[in-house]
């Protein structure tokens, strides 16, 4: 996200967030420090901190406090990735080895827990118990969504509604919380916070749908992990759902979703979906959510920060990495 | 702890904490609810909530806020147990199956994460960002201690200092935080908070040393898990340390600490330690910490709550379950 002009407004703030992310709390074990640095340096697009900061300026909240909230949401996201990769057995993320690829499961669990704690500590330094409440509710939503997927997921039988519920919990909840952060810190009127909440939820859906599309069509080198990872794990995302609407009995796709298909069958399934109209249809769905995200802000006062929030939506729906 | 007279002062408050522990946040997946109820019903002595409440009354803090802090520390403790049992592969705790005994590792990780989030949410409802900071710092200390043990633990070569550092992180840090909760909520003068901090740290050391002794000498039915669990996992606790001072080359004990010894050798090692003077010496060490815990409160104003805090120390050093 380095060359995006809509981030110019918060360039200095983002720099401060980077410094916070690299801060090592007193007594932190060297191994955790190295692991977290590796994850933080590994990049990520810093969408969540950017949202916290744009929301902060847009709502006139205290930037010094928001810096902590911005670092907190990024570390919360990092912690969930540590545990997710362990649970999914993923070995690569953003072009680098995951922690569980070279640490024991036990050490990986503890590292994730530590990062959760560090994130909560940063959130508390924002000085807002309301923000802390929202922060912990969001983590509950994320975990709850994953437990639901684990216990109730029926692979082939996922409905569009279940998919949206899942990506709401997994991605949109934290992006929405980030978008609301400024409104929470500045204690603005309910309408403005509600507008930012809807904006964030819709933006989060865009973000995840585009991710799910890129999982099929992106260049592996750009993606930083094998193409079709979700399908290989039997996870039904929007491109798969839409493909199955037109091809309910496609042999390779159905086999791949059953799990334990050969690599050849998985590749065949991925190619079939990547080359189908399901991709464009999924991107059209993302565009619809993008339009709703922008509409949510239409009643709010115009400012350069509102413009940046709108530009972030356009960037998210168009991004190809 | 039901028939302990020093808890009479906070009986109603503890009842309110129990209700909070059984509250199901909106949207919580049924499976998580059942799992958490199982853990919460499984008992535990509620030492941490009792400390929060005694500290609250002793410092004149707002009891309505403290209820949340008390439930938060108990759930934080519960969450760490969920992950610990998974990491250690423990199948029994307090006479009941652990969560990982019947859930997949992934689901167990998520359940623990959810309980962390719920604990953080309860802590935020106390309305004190200072408490939230202390809460998250404590979780960092706990995780950090476990990571240190995992990366730097050298079984046979554990020193007394390393042992105390480890049980400080594992147990005393959260017990100390609980003892300070009232001082934090009431924002009392530094001296009083510092006294409660030292009291809690020393009480926490007593608590863990007695636990480590009971792991050798308790009745399995009362203990609710196999005797000698720590030794079987190669963990050097104070009774082992003191035993090795007198018997540095004891074959069964040395073999057991190497791990993967036969059950026969492990039983022999456990019996050797349980029948040795190391047990009494460990209890004497616990008594020393108990004396220091009580001394920490000696300068503070006398009250029925101070008396209860002192009685809790006596109970902890004498308990046999």
CB contact under 8 A, B137 and A121: yes
| B212-228: average pLDDT | 85
Residue in A with minimal Cα distance to B105: A87
* Measured distance CA(A65)–CA(A87) in Å, rounded: 34
What pLDDT score does A155 carry?
56
Q: Across the interface, do A129 and B133 touch by the CB < 8 Å criterion?
A: no
pLDDT at B165: 94
When pLDDT is averaged across residues B107-133 and rounded to a whole number, the result is 97
Distance from CA of B227 to the nearest CA of A (A): 23
What local confidence, expressed as pLDDT, does residue A128 receive?
Answer: 97
Residue A288: its H or E element? helix A278-296
For chain A, what percent of residues have pLDDT higher than 90? Answer: 80
In chain B the domains, ranked by start, together with CATH numbers, are 5-318 (1.10.600.10)
Calculate mean pLDDT across residues A25-48.
89
Through-space distance between the first and last CA atoms of chain A, rounded to whole angstroms: 10
Q: Do B110 and A150 touch (CB under 8 A)?
A: yes
Q: What is the pLDDT of residue B156?
A: 57
Asked if B110's CB is within 8 angstroms of A148's CB, the reply is no
Q: Which of A125, A136, A144 sits opposite B32 (nearest CB)?
A: A144
Residue of chain B whose Cα is closest to the Cα of A30: B148
With an 8 Å Cβ cutoff, are B129 and A124 in contact? yes
Instruction: Please judge whether A139 and B147 are an interchain contact, meaning their C-beta atoms are less than 8 angstroms apart.
Output: no
Q: Which pLDDT value is given to residue A107?
A: 96
Taking the CA of residue B221 and the nearest CA in chain A, the distance in Å comes to 28
Distance from CA of A67 to the nearest CA of B (A): 16
Give which of B212, B136, B130 is closest to B171, Cα–Cα: B212
Average pLDDT for A87-94:
89
Nearest CA to B51 out of B308, B319, B300 is that of B308
Nearest residue to A230 via CA among A249, A210, A257, A252: A257
- Beta-carbon contacts below 8 Å between A and B: 158
Q: Under an 8 A CB cutoff, do B29 and A144 touch?
A: yes
CB atoms within 10 A of CB B287: 16
- Asked whether the beta carbons of residue A109 and residue B86 sit closer than 8 angstroms, the reply is yes
pLDDT of residue B1: 53
Task: Please report the pLDDT score of residue A156 as a whole number.
Answer: 57
Nearest CA in chain B to A82: B109
The answer to whether the CB atoms of A129 and B129 lie below 8 A apart is yes
Interface test with B, best of A27, A84, A110 (most B CBs within 10 A): A110
- Residue B136 to residue A127, Cβ atoms within 8 A: no
Instruction: Work out whether the CA dihedral B142, B82, B205, B20 comes out positive or negative.
Output: positive
Q: What is the pLDDT of residues B17-74, one digit of tens each?
A: 999 999 999 989 999 999 999 888 886 789 999 999 999 999 999 999 999 999 999 9
Q: What is the mean pLDDT of residues B120-137?
A: 97
Q: CA A150, CA B85: separation in Å to the nearest integer?
A: 20
Instruction: Name the minimum distance, in Å, from the CA of B122 to any CA of chain A.
Output: 8
Which of A5-9, A245-249, A305-309, B172-176 has the weakest average pLDDT? A5-9
Identify the pLDDT of residue B42: 81
Contacts 24+ apart (CB under 8 A), B1-7: B1/B45, B1/B46, B1/B47, B1/B50, B1/B315, B4/B311, B4/B315, B5/B311, B6/B307, B6/B308, B6/B311, B6/B312, B6/B315, B7/B50, B7/B308
How many CA atoms does the CB half-sphere of A119 hold within 13 Å? 27
pLDDT surpasses 80 at B14: yes
Average pLDDT value for chain B: 93
Average pLDDT, stretch B159-184? 96
pLDDT at A223: 76
Question: Which chain A residue's Cα is nearest to B87?
Answer: A106
Residues of A within 8 A of B234 (CB-CB) are: none
Q: With beta carbons under 8 A apart, name residues in chain A contacting B105.
A: 87, 105
Express each pLDDT in A125-177 by its tens digit.
999 999 999 999 999 999 999 999 898 876 557 889 999 999 999 999 999 99
Pairing relationship of beta strands A96-97 and A92-93 according to DSSP bridges: antiparallel
Closest Cα in chain B to A83 = B109
Residue of A nearest to B110 (CA): A143
The beta-carbon neighbor of B31 closest among A25, A127, A147 is A147
């Amino acid at each position: 996200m380095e060359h995006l002009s809509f981030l110019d407004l918060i360039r200095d703030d983002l720099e401060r967030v980077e410094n916070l992310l690299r801060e090592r709390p007193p007594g932190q074990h060297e191994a955790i420090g190295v692991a977290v640095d590796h994850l933080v340096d590994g990049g990520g697009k810093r969408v969540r901190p950017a949202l916290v900061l744009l929301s902060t300026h847009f709502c006139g909240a205290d930037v010094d406090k928001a810096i902590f909230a911005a670092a907190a949401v990024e570390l919360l996201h990092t912690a969930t990735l540590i545990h997710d990769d362990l649970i999914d057995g993923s070995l690569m993320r953003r072009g680098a080895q995951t922690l569980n690829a070279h640490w024991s499961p036990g050490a990986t669990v503890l590292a994730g827990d530590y990062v959760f704690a560090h994130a909560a500590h940063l959130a508390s330094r924002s000085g807002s118990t309301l923000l802390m409440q929202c922060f912990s509710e969001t983590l509950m939503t994320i975990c709850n969504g994953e437990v639901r997927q684990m216990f109730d997921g029926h692979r082939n039988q996922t409905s569009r509604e279940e998919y949206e519920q899942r990506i709401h919990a997994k991605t949109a909840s934290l992006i929405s919380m980030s978008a609301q952060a400024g409104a929470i810190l500045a204690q603005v009127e309910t309408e403005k916070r509600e507008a930012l909440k809807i904006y964030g939820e819709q933006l989060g859906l865009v973000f995840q749908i585009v991710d799910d599309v890129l999982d099929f069509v992106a260049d592996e080198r750009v993606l930083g992990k094998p193409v079709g990872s979700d399908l290989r794990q039997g996870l039904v995302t929007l491109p798969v759902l839409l493909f199955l609407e037109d091809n309910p009995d496609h042999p390779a796709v159905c086999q791949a979703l059953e799990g334990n298909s050969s690599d050849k069958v998985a590749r065949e399934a991925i190619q079939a979906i990547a080359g189908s109209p399901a991709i464009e249809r999924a991107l059209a769905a993302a565009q619809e959510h993008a339009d709703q995200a922008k509409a949510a802000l239409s009643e709010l006062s115009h400012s350069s920060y509102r413009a940046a929030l709108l530009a972030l939506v356009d960037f998210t729906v168009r991004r190809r990495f």
